[in-house]
Structure 1
Amino acid sequence: MRIDDESIFYAFHSELIPVVTVESGAEIQMVTRDCFSNQISTPEDFSGLDWNQVNPATGPVALRGAQPGDILKVEVLGIKIADSGIVCVVPGAGVLGDRIEAAQVRILSVDDRVRFNEKISLPLNKMIGVIGVAPRGEAVPNGVPGDHGGNMDNRVIREGATLYLPVFHEGALFGAGDVHGAMGDGEIGVSGLEVAAELTFRLSVIPGSASTIPPLEHPLLEDDQDFYAIVSGETLDSATKRAVATMADLVQHKTGLSLAESTMLMSLAGHTEIAQVVDPQVTVRYRLPKQAVAEYFTSLF
């Protein structure tokens, strides 16, 4: 199943009409525009940018049988990106926005690395910035992260990762976009290397009644090495507290350790990490190496 980039939306919400409905376990391909909706071919195009067409997501895709309380399992099977991407700075945006006097845009070439200039090339870090489902309540613009996912700008959402999202509405209504060829933790300049892409996913529904973890309230992720709890909030403090609490509940549930024991283990072995600090809500991930709990469990499901 292939969905092209004519099927896009700019806010996650429960009234979206699915482009397609698929069975649990289906593999799909999504063609995604860059975060500027492919409006920029030269740096000069930035001045005429239509900001109402920023952060498009391809979709939505409905999962047959998905109901509120279920979990959507999203396996990231492939990320193919364009051979160039856009990075920019804008006055008032990002950590240093108060010091940026004028917008600047660069279009960088991409091969096996990102070519920043004649002296600097950077490794690719292909990742998905916007990915989620219809949120619990009102519509949420794609630029805003939350419990439904959205614009988490989390560099660990990459090939080989499996993301778990809470389902709030029938069908889940999944979409993705805002792919980056490279981005550092924090995305401090408000832009990664913004690229058009083709994404391949396997989407599966885990019934809430069959879940082996506590009821899912925030996104979780696992890869070959680590488990992650991902939380967005108004402040780093609030997001960190909820991310740590989510992982502590998970560890207790899967191991039988007490809260005190889980806290001590996580303090010794885990890591609190920043995903992004530039969106309307900030995003934190708490990472627990699988090796630390391998004698108890090695996967979430």
Structure 2
Amino acid sequence: MSWLENSYMARKGMARGNSGETHQLNGEKQGKYHYVYGPYAEPVLTVKPGDVVVAETQDAFEGAIKTESDSPSEILHMPFLNPQCGPIEVEGAEKGDVLCVHIHSIKPRGPQPVGTTALITEFGGLVGTTNTALLNKPLPEKVKKMEVTEAGVKFNDRVTLPYEPFIGTLGVSPEIEAVSSLQPDYWGGNMDLPDVAPGAIAYFPVHHKGAYLYLGDCHARQGDGELCGVAVEIPSTTTVQVDLIKGWSIAWPRLENEEFIMSIGSSRPMEDAARIAYRELLRWLCADYGYDEAEAYFLLTQAGRVRLGNMVDPKYTLGASILKRYLM
């Protein structure tokens, strides 16, 4: 039995991991991309559990930064960053359910050099920001363009980095709020977590009828923390499969792949994000793997792992995980 056949999606999902109809969500079908997660936009697609969506995502700047001579502060209009495909309505989804998103593939799209990173005024992990106000002058703005193919990311003439794509911003609508696509929280959003990658299944608590799935901000790769605040941003053709789990109550996003299960927390300060992620993982072990609280606490102390998604967004994101081989 493959790990997918034994995944939560396959065991508990309404479609049991079986694929349904395939839907194309190109730029024409999407129309206006969204910069807000919320319940107030009309769905661009309605799908059933098991259905597959092939979405054309824009890069984080909706293609506005075209050359290395461009000035981000002159071109970009904050907070209109991270354009999102969607919302995608999932039939039968209700508050208290869990939406499953199995990421099949992420492929770069558009003319080369398709990858963009940048230094942006008052944004990044090692500079003064509006939240961390310092008297130091901002770093000079700088744009770097890179060729990106599935064979690799050409960082410069000496270094080609592996192509390790993931969805930077993925999640569902909150129940009542309309929130920026730059913000991560209990609905998912701008988590910038490299494990949200092809092969993984992400799980989100449903808060609004139809779930209203949003996705965008795909990255060709990123180091832990997204240090300067901008990964290798790419437009993409991203393929995901959705499913729906009834009667599985979770408070924060979760993820599984072949090797581990992970709980995801977003907050400031960073240690609170870690606490959220580890607490939710501990509760997962107690609910589904036969541990009492103390034994789960001991196990995670000795075998838990933390992945830093971002240390630059309005809230920081961390994923706490444990290898599946310890849960047999």
TM-score for the superposition, normalised by structure 1: 0.93
1:152-190 Cα distance to aligned partner (Å, 9 max, x none): 000000100000000000000001000000101100100
Which residues of 2 match residues 7-156 of structure 1 at below 5 A?
7=30, 8-45=33-70, 46=72, 47-82=74-109, 83=112, 84-98=114-128, 100-111=138-149, 112-156=151-195
The one-letter code of the counterpart of 1:241 is R
- Contact 1:74/1:164 (8 A) holds in 2: yes
- The answer to whether the 8 Å contact 2:265/2:274 transfers is yes
- Map 1:256-275; keep pairs closer than 5 Å: 256-275=290-309
Aligned partners of 1:49, 1:277: CA distance in 2, in Å? 21
Q: In the TM superposition, what is the alpha-carbon distance from 1:88 to its structure 2 partner?
A: 0.6
* Residue 52 of structure 1, CA deviation: 4.7
Q: 2:177 & 2:79 partners in 1: Cα distance? A: 19
Q: For 1:261, what is the secondary structure of its paired residue?
A: helix
Determine whether 1:4 maps to 2:8: no
Aligned length: 289
Q: For 2:235 and 2:218, how far apart are their aligned partners in 1?
A: 7
Corresponding letter in the other structure for 1:263: Y
Mapped contact 2:200–2:257 kept (Cα < 8 A) = yes
Q: How far is the alpha carbon of 1:89 from its aligned partner? A: 0.9
- Aligned residues of 2:119 and 2:139 also touching (Cα < 8 A): no
2:214 aligned residue: 175
CA distance in 2 between counterparts of 1:54 and 1:114 reads 23
Return the alpha-carbon distance in structure 1 between the equivalents of residues 86 and 258 of structure 2: 28
Q: CA deviation at 1:51?
A: 3.3
8 Å CA contact 1:135–1:148 kept in 2: the answer is yes
TM-score (norm 2): 0.85
- Which residue identity lines up with residue 121 of structure 2 in the other structure? P
1:235 aligns with 2:235: no
Q: Which residue of 2 aligns with 1:298?
A: none
Stretches of structure 2 that go unaligned for 5 or more consecutive residues are 1-22, 129-135
Q: Output the amino acid matched with 2:25.
A: I
Say whether 1:293 aligns with 2:323. Answer: no
Question: Structure 1: how far apart are the matches of 2:86 and 2:307?
Answer: 30
How far, CA to CA, are the matches of 1:126 and 1:162 in structure 2?
Answer: 14
> Of 125, 142, 160, which aligns to 2:199?
160
Identity %: 30
Q: Which has the larger share of strand?
A: 1
Residues 52 and 144 (structure 1), Cα distance of their counterparts in 2 relative to 1, 3 Å cut: closer
CA gap 1:235/1:5 in 2 versus in 1, 3 angstroms: farther
Which digits, 9 at most, give the CA deviation of each residue in 1:33-81, with x for residues without a partner?
A: 0000011221233332333531101111000110000000000011111
Contact map agreement 2:98 2:205 (CA 8 A) in 1: yes
